Structure 1
Amino acid sequence: MANPYREILTTPGVKGLVIASSIARLPNAMMGIGIITMLVQQGHLYWLAGAVSGTFMLTNALLGPQVSKLVDQYGQSRVLPLVTTFSIGMLLLLVIAAYMKASTPFLFILAVLAGSMPSMPAMVRARWTELFRGKPQLHTAFSLDTVLTEIVFIIGPPLAIILSTSAFAEAGPLAATLLLAIGVTVFIRQRQTEPKVVLAKHTGGKRESILQIPSLRIIILALLAMGVIGGTTNVAVVAFANEQGWPTAASFILAAYALGSLVAGLTFGALRIALPMEKQFLFWIVVTAGTALLPILAPNVYIMAVMILISGCSFAPAMVIVMTLGTIVVPAARLTEGLTWMTTGISIGVALGGLLAGLVIDAYGARAGFGVAIASGLSMVVIAMMGLPILRAASEVRSELSAEAS
Structure 2
Amino acid sequence: MLAPYKDCLSRPHVTYLFATNLLGRLPNGMAPLGIALFLRSHGMGFGVVGGITALYGLSTAVGGPLLGRAVDRHGQPRVLWISAVVSAAGFLALIWAGGNTGAAAAAAAVAGLASPPLEPCLRTLWPDVLDDKRAIATAYALDAALQEVVFAAGPLFVVLIGWLAGPGPALAVTTVAMVAGTLAYVSPEPVRRWRAEPRRPDWAGPLRSSMLRRLLVALACVGVGLGGLNIDTVAYQEHIGQSGLSGILLGVNAAGALIGGLIYGARQWKATTMRQLQVLLACMACCYLLLALVPPPAVAIALVFLAGLFLSPVLACGFAIIGDVAPPGTATEAFAWMVTAVLTGNAAGSSAAGVAEQHLGLWASFLVPGLAALASAVVALVLLRDAAQPSATRSVKATHP
Superposition TM-score tier, normalisation by shorter sequence: over 0.9
Which one-letter code corresponds to 1:128 in the other structure? W
Q: Partner residue of 1:123?
A: 121
Secondary structure of the equivalent of 1:12?
coil
Moved more, 60-69 or 162-171: 162-171
Q: Partner residue of 1:187?
A: 185
Aligned counterparts, 1:301-380, within 5 A:
301-380=297-376
Q: Partner residue of 1:35?
A: 35
The alpha-carbon deviation at position 303 of structure 1 amounts to 1.9
Contact 1:253–1:301 (CA under 8 A) maintained in structure 2 = no
Whether 1:3 aligns to 2:3 is: yes
Q: Partner residue of 1:109?
A: 106
Separation in 2 of the partners of 1:2 and 1:267?
A: 9
Secondary structure of the equivalent of 1:344?
helix
Separation in 1 of the partners of 2:396 and 2:238?
A: 55
The alpha-carbon deviation at position 206 of structure 1 amounts to 4.2
**TM-score, with structure 2 as normaliser:** 0.93
Contact 1:42–1:169 (CA under 8 A) maintained in structure 2 = no
Whether 1:58 aligns to 2:54 is: no
Aligned counterparts, 1:384-399, within 5 A:
384-392=380-388, 397-398=393-394
Contact 1:13–1:193 (CA under 8 A) maintained in structure 2 = no
Whether 1:247 aligns to 2:243 is: yes
Separation in 1 of the partners of 2:396 and 2:261?
A: 30
The alpha-carbon deviation at position 304 of structure 1 amounts to 1.3
Q: Partner residue of 1:17?
A: 17
Q: 1:314 to 1:290 in 2, by over 3 A?
A: same
Contact 2:55–2:105 (CA under 8 A) maintained in structure 1 = yes
Q: 1:214 to 1:400 in 2, by over 3 A?
A: closer
Q: 1:331 to 1:133 in 2, by over 3 A?
A: farther
Residues 257-304 of structure 1 deviation map (CA, whole Å, 9 limit, x = unaligned): 011111111111011112122222222222222222132234322221
Secondary structure of the equivalent of 2:133?
coil
Q: Partner residue of 1:293?
A: 289
The alpha-carbon deviation at position 131 of structure 1 amounts to 2.3
The alpha-carbon deviation at position 167 of structure 1 amounts to 2.1
Separation in 2 of the partners of 1:20 and 1:268?
A: 23
Q: Partner residue of 1:262?
A: 258
**TM-score, with structure 1 as normaliser:** 0.92
Contact 1:132–1:138 (CA under 8 A) maintained in structure 2 = yes
Whether 1:164 aligns to 2:156 is: no
Contact 2:289–2:371 (CA under 8 A) maintained in structure 1 = no
Which one-letter code corresponds to 2:151 in the other structure? F
Which one-letter code corresponds to 1:58 in the other structure? L
Moved more, 110-119 or 60-69: 110-119
Moved more, 109-118 or 182-191: 109-118
Secondary structure of the equivalent of 1:189?
coil
Whether 1:211 aligns to 2:207 is: yes
Contact 1:233–1:373 (CA under 8 A) maintained in structure 2 = yes
Separation in 2 of the partners of 1:394 and 1:105?
A: 55
Separation in 2 of the partners of 1:164 and 1:49?
A: 17
Residues 123-150 of structure 1 deviation map (CA, whole Å, 9 limit, x = unaligned): 2212223323661111111111111101
Contact 2:65–2:334 (CA under 8 A) maintained in structure 1 = yes
Contact 1:280–1:321 (CA under 8 A) maintained in structure 2 = yes
Q: Partner residue of 1:225?
A: 221
Contact 1:329–1:395 (CA under 8 A) maintained in structure 2 = no
The alpha-carbon deviation at position 21 of structure 1 amounts to 1.3
Moved more, 48-57 or 374-383: 374-383
Separation in 2 of the partners of 1:198 and 1:396?
A: 24
The alpha-carbon deviation at position 71 of structure 1 amounts to 0.5
Contact 1:73–1:199 (CA under 8 A) maintained in structure 2 = no
Separation in 2 of the partners of 1:181 and 1:112?
A: 18
- Count matched residues: 396
Q: 1:219 to 1:138 in 2, by over 3 A?
A: same
Q: 1:335 to 1:262 in 2, by over 3 A?
A: same
The alpha-carbon deviation at position 44 of structure 1 amounts to 0.9
The alpha-carbon deviation at position 196 of structure 1 amounts to 2.0
The alpha-carbon deviation at position 396 of structure 1 amounts to 6.6
Q: 1:118 to 1:193 in 2, by over 3 A?
A: closer
Q: Partner residue of 1:279?
A: 275
Separation in 2 of the partners of 1:331 and 1:134?
A: 20
Residues 279-337 of structure 1 deviation map (CA, whole Å, 9 limit, x = unaligned): 22222222222222132234322221111111111111111111111111013411110
Moved more, 68-77 or 281-290: 281-290
The alpha-carbon deviation at position 255 of structure 1 amounts to 0.9
The alpha-carbon deviation at position 55 of structure 1 amounts to 0.3
Q: Partner residue of 2:71?
A: 71
Contact 2:352–2:368 (CA under 8 A) maintained in structure 1 = yes
Which one-letter code corresponds to 2:110 in the other structure? L
The alpha-carbon deviation at position 49 of structure 1 amounts to 0.9
Q: 1:195 to 1:387 in 2, by over 3 A?
A: farther
Whether 1:153 aligns to 2:151 is: yes
Q: Partner residue of 1:137?
A: 135
Secondary structure of the equivalent of 1:299?
coil
Separation in 2 of the partners of 1:400 and 1:300?
A: 42
Residues 127-178 of structure 1 deviation map (CA, whole Å, 9 limit, x = unaligned): 2233236611111111111111011111001211332344222122211101
Identical aligned pairs, as a percentage? 26
Whether 1:81 aligns to 2:78 is: no
